[in-house]
């Protein structure tokens, strides 16, 4: 899935795999190997000169990795970076667990980050609260367990704050947005966050959860790809196990 998504992103950007400096993969569901996902994806793409690494920030993984890719390009350490969010959540959930089984799905989404005349990625605002890490955890068998109500309360309290700070950092307001693309945890969290931010009817709110479910680190790029007719500023917010969170404003082409 990661290779397929990355191939589509490279083709859309018109970038040859040989010109890729780094491959970043955000995932929390890769199991059973010492080898991380990114080197396998780089090899499959033919990006033989690229650095490759996984980034583990769970459902906040995509905005974390996007900030990392942005920093690599800005610093001159990389030219073009392929960034993939990918999960096989069905590998790490218990189909009998009514608190998780109906929520999660499998999927991948990818973008290419590279040099440009104008910056399309705003400053990242991020953080983590490890004191509450037990709300989303693996059990002894490596299965994901979630305290749903507690995660809901945490997410709906943290998202408006981190989102507002990301808007301020980018120098824009909620009224300037074309889209709001949060991690697709569940529709209730998205609705509560959109209301708290006071988003107007002109702002497209991503609801990819109704199609693909919660696909972890893949959910933001998948939701972004579904908004094919939207251009302009979009607010991305990721949050999840850790508990980690991150947000930034990007310009949709």
Which residues carry out catalysis? Answer: 59, 183, 214
Q: Exposed, middle or buried by CB within 10 Å (0-12, 13-18, 19+), for 71? A: middle
- On whether the CB atoms of residues 5 and 35 are closer than 8 A, the answer is no
Please state whether beta strands 136-138 and 144-146 pair in parallel, antiparallel, or not at all (unpaired): antiparallel
- On whether the CB atoms of residues 245 and 88 are closer than 8 A, the answer is no
- On whether the CB atoms of residues 158 and 245 are closer than 8 A, the answer is yes
> Helix, strand or coil for residue 14?
coil
List Cα–Cα distances, 56 to 39, 63, 93, in angstroms. 15, 11, 18
Instruction: Report whether the peptide linkage leading into residue 31 is cis, meaning its omega lies within 30 degrees of zero.
Output: no
List Cα–Cα distances, 137 to 9, 145, 149, 182, 220, in angstroms. 32, 5, 15, 21, 21
CA distance 192 to 194: 6
> Helix, strand or coil for residue 210?
helix
Residue indicated by tokens 């009998």 = 96
Crossing angle (nearest 10°) for helices 219-226 and 61-75: 80
């Amino acid at each position: 899935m990661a290779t397929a998504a990355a191939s589509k992103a490279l083709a859309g950007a018109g970038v040859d795999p040989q010109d890729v400096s780094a491959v970043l993969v955000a995932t929390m569901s890769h199991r059973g190997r010492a080898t991380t996902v990114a080197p396998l994806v780089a090899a499959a793409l033919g990006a033989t000169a690229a650095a490759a690494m996984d980034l583990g920030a769970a459902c906040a993984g995509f905005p974390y990795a996007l900030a990392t890719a942005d920093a690599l390009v800005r610093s001159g350490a990389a030219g073009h970076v392929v960034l993939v969010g990918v999960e096989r959540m069905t590998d790490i959930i218990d189909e009998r667990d009514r608190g998780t089984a109906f929520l999660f799905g499998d999927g991948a989404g990818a973008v290419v980050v590279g040099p440009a005349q104008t910056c399309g990625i705003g400053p990242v605002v991020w953080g983590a609260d490890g004191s509450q890490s037990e709300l989303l955890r693996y059990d002894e068998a490596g299965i994901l367990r979630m305290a749903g109500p507690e995660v809901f309360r945490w997410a709906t309290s943290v998202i408006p704050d981190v989102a507002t700070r990301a808007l301020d950092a980018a120098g824009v307001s909620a009224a300037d947005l074309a889209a709001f693309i949060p991690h697709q945890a569940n529709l209730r969290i998205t609705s509560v966050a959109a209301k708290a931010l006071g988003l107007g009817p002109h702002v497209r709110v991503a609801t990819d959860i109704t199609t693909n479910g919660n696909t972890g680190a893949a959910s933001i790029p998948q939701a972004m790809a579904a908004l094919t007719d939207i251009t302009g500023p979009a607010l991305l917010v990721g949050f999840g196990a850790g508990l980690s969170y991150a947000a930034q404003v990007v310009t949709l082409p």
